[in-house]
């Protein structure tokens, strides 16, 4: 049986299903090529002198790693000239990136976290790229921040690439979730995980337990029940995982189930959460829902949130549907 490359998969989806516009296909192929270049830089690591701090900060005031900056530049440069995009927005940049006037502009908006989990770079743990695609409002020749402020339901595509023992691209257009593994010898992504599905129930959870004292009561209750195991109300033992890389956490959940939580906490009551809605919450929620899971902020589906600013933060509970619905119900009852 012949292997199905990403390009073949996209062309067949465009031809047979009729729900993949040619401009969107070209955009995804361009993003995939950029992710291959990022993967090469990540894999070279210290050999290419790309580890360590960049000596700069991003819009959130976080210290940037050298690879944060490199990955951001790769994505901007790869996508600015292709003619599919009207503008881009990056977690690493305060304002949207306008397509240079000497390049054609297209109908889509691209948002990305160029290197999620970058605190793990120097210790050789999986990191990744997350991206989201929206349609630009028709007739808008100079997109502004307001044009990006669409709910997650408006996404036309989303995906991530995880740079681990293998480099994998996971992708959805709203018709299921498919995973592609990078064949380094051939230089192409190959379909290896068609129609990925998240089991409805699980015995595995991921949360940063060091923040427990800061959590709200519903989260305290839920995690307490998980830890109680067979002696508690849930009647089964759970294992805990924590990688501190959202891409790695979500990828594990897509492959074998689980629930990932990054809740609001009391350290900064003005912030609804830690992770970013537009760059992390929306694309991952889209993927998880398409794989049969659920994703909420504890009170409503993440994809239903109407963003008010480009770098808005959000609490996140996502993964196996039964567990996400349980912790969301605890919030509703609080």
pLDDT digits (tens, 9 = 90+) for 172-223: 999 999 999 999 998 999 999 999 999 999 999 999 999 999 999 999 999 9
Annotated ligand binding at 325? The verdict is: no
- pLDDT tens digits, one per residue of 211-234: 999 999 999 999 999 999 999 999
The answer on whether 183 is annotated among ligand-binding residues is: no
**Ranges assigned E (strand) in the chain:** 53-57, 63-65, 85-90, 97-98, 108-116, 127-135, 157-163, 167-172, 177-183, 188-193, 204-206, 239-241, 259-262, 275-276, 294-296, 313-314, 316-319
**pLDDT at residue number 2:** 79
The SS3 of residue 87 is strand
CB 156 within 8 A of CB 135: yes
Which pLDDT score is estimated for 237? 97
327 Cβ partners below 8 Å, 6+ apart? 218, 219, 222, 259, 261, 298, 317
User: What is the pLDDT averaged over residues 162-176?
Assistant: 96
pLDDT tens for 93-135 read 999 999 999 999 999 999 999 999 877 778 888 999 999 999 9
Question: Is 58 labelled as part of a ligand binding site?
Answer: no
| Crossing angle (nearest 10°) for helices 217-228 and 321-333 | 140
Distance CA 172, CA 18 (A): 15
What count of other Cβ atoms lies within 10 Å of the Cβ of residue 267?
Answer: 10
Q: Is 113 annotated as a binding residue?
A: yes
Structure tokens at 223: 């995690």
The predicted structure's pLDDT at residue 179: 98
Q: What are the CA-CA distances from residue 216 to residues 28, 210, 242, 269, 285 (Å)?
A: 39, 14, 20, 11, 22
Mean pLDDT of 142-154: 95
Start-to-end C-alpha separation, the chain:
54
The annotation status of 65 as a binding-site residue, yes or no, is no
84 pLDDT band, cuts 50/70/90, is very high
Q: Is the dihedral of CA 201, 321, 24, 77 positive or negative?
A: negative
Does residue 55 contact residue 113 with C-beta atoms inside 8 Å? no
Structural contact between residues 198 and 291, judged by C-beta atoms closer than 8 angstroms: yes
Cα–Cα distance measured from residue 183 to residue 293, given in angstroms and rounded to the nearest whole number: 29
Q: What residues contact 280, with CB distance under 8 A and at least 6 apart? A: 91, 113, 116, 130, 246, 316
Q: CB-hemisphere CA count at 13 Å for 101? A: 0
Q: Mean pLDDT, to the nearest integer, of 302-330? A: 97
- Per mean pLDDT, which range of 69-73, 148-152, 319-323 is the poorest? 69-73
Given a cut of 90, whether residue 54 has pLDDT beyond it is no
Token pair recorded at residue 58: 């991003």
Helices (H) and strands (E) counted in the chain, each on its own, are: 8, 17
Name the maximum alpha-carbon separation found in the chain: 66
Q: Token match 């993927």: residue?
A: 287
Cβ atoms of 278 and 89 closer than 8 Å:
yes
Determine whether the annotation assigns residue 23 to a binding site: no
Provide the residue count of the chain: 334
């Amino acid at each position: 049986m012949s292997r199905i490359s990403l390009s073949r998969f996209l062309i067949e989806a465009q031809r047979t299903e009729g729900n993949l516009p040619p401009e969107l296909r070209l955009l995804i192929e361009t993003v995939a090529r950029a992710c291959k270049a990022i993967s090469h830089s990540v894999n070279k690591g210290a050999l290419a002198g790309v580890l360590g701090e960049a000596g700069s900060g991003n819009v959130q005031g976080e210290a940037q790693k050298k690879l944060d900056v490199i990955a951001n530049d790769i994505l901007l440069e790869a996508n600015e000239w292709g003619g599919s995009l009207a503008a881009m927005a990056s977690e690493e940049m305060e304002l949207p990136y306008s397509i240079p006037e000497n390049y054609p502009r297209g109908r889509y908006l691209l948002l990305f976290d160029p290197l999620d989990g970058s605190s793990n770079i120097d210790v050789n743990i999986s990191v990744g790229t997350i991206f989201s695609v929206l349609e630009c409002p028709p007739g808008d020749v100079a997109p502004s921040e307001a044009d990006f402020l669409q709910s997650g339901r408006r996404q036309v595509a989303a995906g991530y690439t995880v740079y681990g023992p293998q480099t994998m691209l996971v992708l959805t257009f709203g018709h299921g979730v498919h995973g592609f593994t990078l064949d380094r010898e051939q230089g192409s992504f190959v379909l290896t995980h068609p129609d990925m599905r998240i089991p409805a129930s699980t015995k595995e959870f991921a949360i940063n337990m060091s923040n427990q004292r800061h959590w709200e009561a519903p989260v305290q209750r839920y995690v307490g029940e998980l830890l109680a195991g067979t002696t508690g109300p849930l009647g089964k033992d759970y294992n805990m995982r924590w990688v501190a890389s959202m891409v790695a956490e979500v990828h594990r959940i897509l492959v074998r189930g689980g629930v990932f939580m990054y809740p609001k906490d009391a350290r900064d009551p003005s912030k609804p959460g830690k992770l970013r809605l537009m760059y992390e919450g929306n694309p991952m929620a889209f993927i998880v829902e398409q794989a049969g899971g659920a994703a909420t902020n504890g009170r409503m589906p993440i994809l239903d949130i109407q963003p008010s600013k480009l770098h808005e933060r959000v609490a996140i509970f996502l993964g196996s549907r039964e567990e996400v619905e349980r912790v969301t119900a605890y919030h509703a009852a609080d």
